[in-house]
Amino acid sequence: MSEIEDLTRTLNEKVKLLQPLGYRLKIELDEGGLVLWDGTGSAPVISNEDGAADTTLRMTAANAKALMEGRLDPTLAYMTGKLKVEGKLGVAMKLAAMLGD
């Protein structure tokens, strides 16, 4: 399974357990590929199609996996440059709080 497929599968499993995000979030991997999380509807939609997003997160596949598994603190990742945020920082902070629950 490719890194992007693994991330997509993990995110699909995670969103079922999380509160609605209320925004569109894009995760772009440094190695190539992306995951778009549309949390604006009644049910979240996860896809690998590119589209507009309120916030874009950029990181390596390894850091994305660690973030989703709770092994990487989002704030620390941002402060150390392992995670780059483009767009609304508040959306990234909301995601960090959701993943920390």
Report the pLDDT value the prediction gives residue 52, as an integer from 0 to 100.
Answer: 96
Distance CA 12, CA 86 (A): 22
- The residue ranges of every structural domain in the chain are 3-100
| Three-class secondary structure of residue 9 per DSSP | helix
pTM greater than 0.95 (yes/no): no
Closest CA to 13 of 77, 76, 65, 58: 65
Question: Which residues, other chains included, contact 23 with Cβ-Cβ below 8 Å and sequence gap of 6+?
Answer: 39, 40, 53, 54, 55, 88, 91, 94
Q: Average pLDDT of the chain?
A: 89
Distance CA 52, CA 46 (A): 13
Tens-place pLDDT, residues 24-70: 999 999 999 999 999 998 888 999 999 999 999 999 999 998 988 88
Report the pLDDT value the prediction gives residue 18, as an integer from 0 to 100.
Answer: 74
Give, in order, the Cα–Cα distances in Å from 75 to each of 12, 28, 32, 66, 99. 23, 18, 23, 13, 12
> Any idea what DSSP says for residue 19?
P
The domain 3-100 is placed in CATH, from the list 2.60.120.10, 3.30.1050.10, 1.10.10.1100, 3.40.50.720, at: 3.30.1050.10
